[in-house]
Every structure is written in structure tokens, then in C-alpha cells.
Chains A and B, each alone.
Chain A
């Protein structure tokens, strides 16, 4: 155990010092934030130029016969008012526009109530501010003489409280509910990302040991299992460090974003789901790590190890690819099957708990299958390891793998 811990410490320290760790840990979130900001900037429309007066032509004849409507600064959340002036015909509105009396004019066609499009004529830039103004105007024209609270409710019709029928647990909407749903989903994502990075790093760590020819010296001091266990522990600690940094960063970002809405009393931590998640994630991660170590030792070089790790990562990511199918029918045969399959059970069960309950027997069975598979993987990988560790520059052929398994 002492030597296993030495391997773990050394692996952790050396990887932590490497530039790749810094790139992965800080580069990826920065890249994601950057992509988000670019996406937001690209998607958010220009606020546009708000004119003082907009003309309108009501061709339906059904809207409230108001000659002028003024939207207050408060309503628009701007430093300016917006006045709408009625014109009997398009031509009249057009003439007013050309005279510079109005900044644009709105034509509400006769087929408006059956879905015909409203047209806004202007040469100025029409952005979100103008659109918001048009919306407010139309709402007030459709429902004249109503108090302002009616429109406030139209904007945001209700605050919901969700109550579990069986548990009686009440959840208010807002950040509390988001955390209730997001926590297991976040754990599932952590698992998937851990698999993605962990398997790749594990395979590389083992193949490097082989490529740098250090293996032959090391294994005269320790058992192959101790070497693999040390590498797995070291890289697990590294992944935990990475995710601790990301989690702390995420929580800080969450509190900053919802600081005015979030109180600790509102936080509903789904302990049962999280405990089951942890019980499945830990052996699940180790299973991937052991299998990645096995593939690393079978591979002939780093490139081959990366390719094999890619196949493993695909299995880890599979639940994300078919997320819609799982969440669409969380108790269907596909969801239950993947909940019991050891390589997908941690993420699928966590994803299912976000929207539906998972029967206890399924979680117990998943854990039992996972632990049995992990034990089997340790046994097989150790046997293969002995046969392949000194096979420099060559991948182990299937027949050799089989011989290693049965002869050891």
C-alpha cells in the first residue's frame, strides 16, 4: 500500500506540474465561457433605435379605437416614452413617415386574428427595443381599459410550487428547484467528463511508462496491480482536483448570478440521489480507469492508446447522445437496460433521478453489477498487464490477450 501511495503521489505531482493540466483545467472553462459570450453576442439582437412616435394602421377595425397610446418610461424600462398615432390608411401613414412626423409605421392586416403577419415599415434600425414597444402596444390595444397588473400577469402568469405526490416534498420554483434538478445532472456530467479526461490520461500514463522503458525497472520493485492501482489513484486525485476547481468556480458563478434570488433556506439538496450517485460514480470511474489502463498496456504506442481510449470515452458519452430517449421514457426498457449496464449505469441513473424516481432495486442491482465487473476487470487487466508490459512498441494481439488471461 505504501508503494501504491508513492506511485499515486508521484503521478499526481508530476501531472499537476505539467502544462497539460493547466490547459485542461483553466483553458476548457475559459473556452466554454468565451464560446458562450460569442454566442450571446451573436444571438442578441441590436437594441435598435427607438423613435419618439410610431404610426399604426388598424386594418382589422377590431382593435381599440385609440388615436394615441403613450408607453411610459417605466413600462419600457428606458429613458424615453413611445407614442403610437393612428392613421386610417397605409398611404396616410406613409405620407406622415415621409414628412418625418413618425419614425415608422405599423400595419395590422385584416387577417391579423387568423395569424397574418404585422408589418413595420421603417428605414431606421429596428431592434429589440422597438419590438418590445410594439408588443406592449398590441397587448394594450387588444385589452383596452385593463389595469396594469393584468399585463404584468400576462408577462409572468404564475409562480409555481411543485409538490411530490408521494413524498409531500414541496419545491418552489426558482434557483431552489433548479438545484434540485441540476445537482444530479451536474454529477452525471462530472462523471461523463471524468471518464472523458480520465480514460485518456490513464491510457497515456500507462503507455508512457512502457514507451519510456521505465516499466522494467519499476516492476522489479512492485506488483503490476500496485502500479496500476497507484496510477489510478494518482489520476483520480488529479481529476478530483480538476473538478473541485470547476465546482467551486460553478458555485461561485451560480451565487453571483442568483445572489438576489437565492437563499440557503430555499436550497433543496437531493441527498438520496447524490448518495446513490456517489456510490455508483466512484466504482464506475475506477472501472473506466482500470479498463483504460488495460487498453494502454495492450496498445503499441501513444497514438493507439488514444484511439482505444476514444472508444471507451464514446461508451461513457453514449447516455448524453441518447439523452432525449432516456428522459423521454425514463422507465422504458432502454433506460432500465442502460441503468444496469456497468459502463453507463452511473450517468443514466443520475439523469433519470433528475425527472423521475428510480426504483431502489434497480440502483442496488446496478451497484452490484458494477462492483462485480470492477473486480473482474482488475483480475483480467492484471493478467494482461504481466504479458504485455514488456512488449515494447507492439500492440498485443487478440490471441496473445486470450493466452495471457487463461494462462496466468
Chain B
């Protein structure tokens, strides 16, 4: 595999099957140093399996993974941070002891781990709770503690799975700033989340997987632009029922509608159709940028529809004939 200096994770044609379920299907992508990369997909799409393969927790059935310039080694594990979706720390241990233990597992000396634990606990406002047992911490406190555990060793690649779940807006801002800081010092951050507005705000590039397959991949701005090309928002007097060249009409607010154009239909053609419709008066007609939320629903929804139609196609009754 050829990896550029900037590439810290290169995944090439990996697949993984559990019994009869193909969790990851011929998936390829790259993550670069100094970026926040969004790993998106509906529940059960294969995101966690992909992350676990990247971390060498499980082996792919096929394909190759290069981490920090080559195959995973024990030394490289110390340059990786991971905040798993399944949150967990040692309930019976104090917060400090837990973090010291996890920091030393990542190769820090005890003295260095102590220094960093103190600094980071103060930063995330957990210093006062340092001698408390983990089981006595609130959900938000545990979440922050686990974030510290995943990042205290200054990893070059950090994978965070739903980093903001259970956090209030203040703590969300705190963690977000820490992620930006890691990116700014040159670390590559893979962020898996269902909070699309966070992805829009933070990620430069994204990968959307569904049923283990790559559905969307690339710079977020380009993807949004591509999906925005056939979406217009119009201000109308009157209610549009059907418009030639329009696939879907969604009422946004009073007198405002979002139109999804059929593929290949230029917006000017739709404007003309609206202007010439006798019962409608066009007050406003503008291009809008599609939100990632909409893109997600459209892409994943289409994929589900396709799957449904495929299943229907395949469901030929015995002795029946498909026309």
C-alpha cells in the first residue's frame, strides 16, 4: 500500500463477515493527519466493526489496513487513543488510580502520567473528584474522565465514538475544544457520531457507510454542494401540489417550500414552470445548501428503499413468474 506522509490510516478493500452477516463489505478510505474525519452511518452500518479492525482488535477477513505508515504494532498502540462507544472504566478504583493505570498502559511513566492526570483533570474540571471512586461519578463526569483516558498520552491518531453523548452544552464545548486542539497539533481524529450538526461544524471530510459499504466519501463541503445542486427553496403564494421536474416538495414554514429536483433538471426550468402556474405567485426562489442531516436521510433512506425493492424482486413465489 502506498501511503502519503499525511496519511495516518489507510483502509483498503476490507471486509468482515459474522456468521451470515456481512458487517463490512469491501470498504476503503483514508484519514489524514491534522483533520477531523467523520465516520457516519445508521445503527448497524458497520462503523464499530471498521473501527475495531483499524485498531487491530478484530482481524478483517480480507483487505489491508495501514496505521501510522504500516501494519499495527505494539509500539503503535501507544500512539493511538480510543474512546469506544461502550463506555467503561473500573468502578471500584478511584478516578486518579484509573487514569494513572490507563496512562501507564499507553506507555507513560508513572511520574509523567501523574503530571498529565493532574493537568487534564483540572482542564476538564474533574480535579475535585480525583479521589472519588469511578462508580460515584455522574454520567457526564465519567464521559469526560474517559475522554481524558483516551487522550492523555497525546496520540497521533484518535478515534472517538459519540464523544458528546451524555454531555451538557458547556461540557460539549469543552470536549469540542480539546478535539480541535488535538487536530491543530497535527493528530488525525476519527469521529463517529449520529449528531450531524456536530459533523457539519467539525469535520473536514466524511465517510458514510451503510450495510458495511461506502455510500459517501470525501470532503464535506463538496458532498454538500453536490447534494445542494438539485435543491431550491421557494416562497410562494398558493400551494404547489405537483410541479414538473420536481421529485419532492416539503413545506418548510408558512409559504416556504423546499423542492428536490429530479436528476438532470435545471433549476431555471422549474422556476419557469412555477412562474407559469396560474394559481401560484413566486415571491422568492433561491438555492439552499442541503444539511448533512437531509443528505444522510436521503442516502440511507434510498439505500433502504433499494434494499426493499431488491427484496421484493427476489421474493418470487414458487411457480410464479416475474414480468
CB interface residues, B 92-132, toward A, < 8 Å: 92-93, 97, 101-102, 104-106
Question: Lowest 4 A-B CB distances belong to which pairs?
Answer: A213-B88, A221-B105, A216-B84, A213-B86
B89–A222 contact, CB under 8 A?
A: no
Which of chain B's residues have a CB closer than 8 A to the CB of A216?
A: 57, 82, 84, 86, 88
Which of chain B's residues have a CB closer than 8 A to the CB of A7?
A: 105
User: What string of 1s and 0s marks CB contacts (under 8 Å) between A198-229 and chain B?
Assistant: 00000000000000111111111111000000
Partner of B101, one of A6, A212, A220: A6
A114 at the interface (CB under 8 A from B): no
Complex CA–CA separation, A213 to B87 (angstroms): 6
Partner of A221, one of B78, B86, B88, B92: B78
Complex CA–CA separation, A20 to B97 (angstroms): 20
In the complex, how many angstroms separate the beta carbon of A354 from the nearest chain B beta carbon? 41
Complex CA–CA separation, A219 to B106 (angstroms): 11
In the complex, how many angstroms separate the beta carbon of A397 from the nearest chain B beta carbon? 11
Complex CA–CA separation, A10 to B110 (angstroms): 13
B88–A217 contact, CB under 8 A?
A: yes
User: What string of 1s and 0s marks CB contacts (under 8 Å) between B44-57 and chain A?
Assistant: 00000000100101
B224 at the interface (CB under 8 A from A): no
In the complex, how many angstroms separate the beta carbon of B288 from the nearest chain A beta carbon? 41
B74 at the interface (CB under 8 A from A): yes
Which of chain A's residues have a CB closer than 8 A to the CB of B55?
A: 220
Complex CA–CA separation, A216 to B58 (angstroms): 11
**Known A6-B104, A10-B101; contact A220-B57, beta-carbon cutoff 8 A:** yes
A159 at the interface (CB under 8 A from B): no
Which of chain B's residues have a CB closer than 8 A to the CB of A223?
A: 74
B91 at the interface (CB under 8 A from A): yes
Complex CA–CA separation, A215 to B80 (angstroms): 16
A246 at the interface (CB under 8 A from B): no
A90 at the interface (CB under 8 A from B): no
Closest chain B residue to A210 by CB distance? B88
A14 at the interface (CB under 8 A from B): yes
Complex CA–CA separation, A219 to B80 (angstroms): 12
**Known A220-B77, A221-B78, A390-B52; contact A214-B105, beta-carbon cutoff 8 A:** no
The size class of the interface chain B forms with chain A is 20 to 34
B82–A386 contact, CB under 8 A?
A: no
CB interface residues, A 346-369, toward B, < 8 Å: none
A390–B74 contact, CB under 8 A?
A: no
Complex CA–CA separation, A7 to B104 (angstroms): 10
A18 at the interface (CB under 8 A from B): yes
B77–A221 contact, CB under 8 A?
A: yes
Complex CA–CA separation, A10 to B58 (angstroms): 26
A218–B87 contact, CB under 8 A?
A: no
User: What string of 1s and 0s marks CB contacts (under 8 Å) between B19-63 and chain A?
Assistant: 000000000000000000000000000000000100101100000
A121 at the interface (CB under 8 A from B): no
A135 at the interface (CB under 8 A from B): no
A3 at the interface (CB under 8 A from B): yes
A392 at the interface (CB under 8 A from B): yes
Partner of B105, one of A3, A14, A18: A3
6 contacts between A and B (CB under 8 A): A6-B104, A10-B101, A214-B88, A216-B86, A217-B149, A221-B77
Known: A212-B90, A220-B57. 20 other contacts (CB 8 A): A3-B104, A6-B104, A6-B105, A18-B92, A213-B86, A213-B87, A214-B90, A215-B88, A216-B82, A216-B86, A216-B88, A217-B82, A217-B150, A220-B77, A221-B78, A221-B106, A222-B74, A222-B77, A390-B86, A392-B86
The size class of the interface chain A forms with chain B is 20 to 34
Which of chain A's residues have a CB closer than 8 A to the CB of B77?
A: 220-222
Complex CA–CA separation, A390 to B53 (angstroms): 13
Closest chain A residue to B56 by CB distance? A220
B105–A222 contact, CB under 8 A?
A: yes
Which of chain B's residues have a CB closer than 8 A to the CB of A213?
A: 84, 86-88
Complex CA–CA separation, A217 to B149 (angstroms): 9
B58–A212 contact, CB under 8 A?
A: no
**Known A3-B105, A221-B105, A221-B106; contact A212-B91, beta-carbon cutoff 8 A:** yes
User: What string of 1s and 0s marks CB contacts (under 8 Å) between B138-163 and chain A?
Assistant: 00000000100110000000000000
Complex CA–CA separation, A215 to B82 (angstroms): 12
In the complex, how many angstroms separate the beta carbon of A7 from the nearest chain B beta carbon? 8
Complex CA–CA separation, A10 to B77 (angstroms): 20
Complex CA–CA separation, A6 to B100 (angstroms): 11
Closest chain B residue to A230 by CB distance? B105
In the complex, how many angstroms separate the beta carbon of B114 from the nearest chain A beta carbon? 14
Which of chain A's residues have a CB closer than 8 A to the CB of B90?
A: 14, 212, 214
Closest chain A residue to B87 by CB distance? A213
User: What string of 1s and 0s marks CB contacts (under 8 Å) between A1-33 and chain B?
Assistant: 001001100100010001000000000000000
Partner of A14, one of B87, B89, B93: B93
Complex CA–CA separation, A3 to B101 (angstroms): 10
Closest chain B residue to A3 by CB distance? B105
Which of chain B's residues have a CB closer than 8 A to the CB of A3?
A: 104-105
In the complex, how many angstroms separate the beta carbon of A204 from the nearest chain B beta carbon? 12
In the complex, how many angstroms separate the beta carbon of A263 from the nearest chain B beta carbon? 48
Complex CA–CA separation, A6 to B89 (angstroms): 17
**Known A3-B105, A6-B105; contact A220-B80, beta-carbon cutoff 8 A:** yes
In the complex, how many angstroms separate the beta carbon of A347 from the nearest chain B beta carbon? 33
**Known A3-B105, A217-B102, A218-B105; contact A212-B88, beta-carbon cutoff 8 A:** yes
Which of chain B's residues have a CB closer than 8 A to the CB of A219?
A: 57
A14–B102 contact, CB under 8 A?
A: no
Which of chain B's residues have a CB closer than 8 A to the CB of A14?
A: 90, 92-93, 97
A214–B89 contact, CB under 8 A?
A: yes
Closest chain A residue to B104 by CB distance? A6
Which of chain B's residues have a CB closer than 8 A to the CB of A222?
A: 74, 77, 105
User: What string of 1s and 0s marks CB contacts (under 8 Å) between B164-184 and chain A?
Assistant: 000000000000000000000
Complex CA–CA separation, A221 to B84 (angstroms): 13
Most buried by B among A18, A212, A392: A212
In the complex, how many angstroms separate the beta carbon of B1 from the nearest chain A beta carbon? 22
Closest chain B residue to A212 by CB distance? B88
Complex CA–CA separation, A313 to B106 (angstroms): 36
Complex CA–CA separation, A218 to B163 (angstroms): 18
In the complex, how many angstroms separate the beta carbon of B283 from the nearest chain A beta carbon? 55
Which of chain B's residues have a CB closer than 8 A to the CB of A214?
A: 88-90
In the complex, how many angstroms separate the beta carbon of A207 from the nearest chain B beta carbon? 13
Complex CA–CA separation, A386 to B55 (angstroms): 13
In the complex, how many angstroms separate the beta carbon of A257 from the nearest chain B beta carbon? 40
In the complex, how many angstroms separate the beta carbon of A381 from the nearest chain B beta carbon? 17
